[in-house]
Chains A and B, each alone.
Chain A
Amino acid sequence: MSGKIATITSGKGGVGKTTATANIGAALAEMGLSVVCIDADIGLRNLDVVMGLENRIVYDLVDVVEGRCKLRQAMIRDKRLEEFYLIPAAQTRDKTAVSPQDMIRLTDELRADYDWILIDSPAGIERGFRNAIAPADIVVIITNPEVSAVRDADRIIGLVEAEDKGPGRLIINRVKPEMIKRGDMLGTDDVLDVLAIELVGVVPDDESVIVAANKGLAVVLDPRSKAGGAFRNIARRLNGENVPFEALEEQDGFFGRLSRLVKSGGEG
């Protein structure tokens, strides 16, 4: 088996890298694929918290790199999904504890036995970022529909291209269709206009993501969540399936239809 290595990165902090890593990983695992998530944010680890595995950590990424344990010993299995593992970051060290070569060596070992290796990159463009993208076959850049996040994503795409990692693929996270409709938020087209790379998914802003993360559960396991559905589609697209892009509009409830009737009545 030769697994694929995908790094999820953004430049700007707080746009949803960790949530995206956990959910794309869970979605791939739910499809029956074997997945290992690596938290490369040494010193500021949190993928373990989002995945609800914090209390099971014995060894971490730095322990593996420095030879204190075997790779398998640092891999924590998910609570629900069979073939879904996490290699947590060390909390007490910093980014210099690992080198890009270490990451390449480690992921090459995993590649032989697993379908997907997802790397959660730290924010920024320094050593931690370079560690995270060094082994990547695919770089997934995540951004929000905000000018500052788009600006940073653009910088990251430039850096990824400079490291010969191809243009990367884009996820636009926390999109609010209502705000776009009012003209108060950048639309998907506006973002693509600047970044001009392949889009693999648009994730609506959804409270269920926060609720699930607080419980240490993946939102993709909630069949009613809109964001969960978007992450499932992203996983399928990354895995090579051709999935049409979902419509972002809120599903019309009774009140939605009613208010629209009132509006059109008012205008007509």
Chain B
Amino acid sequence: MKLERSIHAAGHRALSTDAGETEALRASFPANSMRRTSRLGLAMADLWRGHQAGPDDTIVYASVYSETRALEDFLRGFPRPGPVHFQTSIHPAGIQQALVPRQLPVASFFPLVAGPRAAAQALGLALLQTSETAWVAAAEERGTWLLEAGAASDETWALLLKLGSPETPGLGTVSWDTTATSNPGGTATLADLRQSLQNRLPGRFPHPSGGCVTLRWHSAP
């Protein structure tokens, strides 16, 4: 079986540790709409500018650590932690913070906890969907005390891919040949996907269900 979609949009956003950059980004959204949004949520919201998920769309979201700062702040709030950090600490909150202010309902939303095969699993899951458009998003947030413990990302970044019909040419293609020879135990991390997107490098990610998910680009970044 071979599944294929065109990449109709692709974006990547990193946020440095400069607080001024974060606040400038926050201020670029409508007044107060991102007042309590985490840095991860801001990076994701920035990527969604100009895009609109439709009610029949699918969103696949993948993150290893997800809302690290909300987790850290919630835990540091004990014995009386706050409600905002709790609701923001849940795994899919990064992308929810970007979409809730825009009131964009979707049919299917799959938040993956990313592991060694996350790139193949996230793209493969998007290819399996019957919706006309499937979005693949991924993100991490730089931690503080969890980073010191080796339990958080050392960067804040987000990426977004819009996948549509292969009949409509786009920036590239994502395909999954489920019978292609590969090593199903091989790794295909979010870092691999990020590198492919940022540098428009071809990607070949072994899928643990069999075969390979392949990313090809038609254009330079």
* Chain A complexes with chain B: no
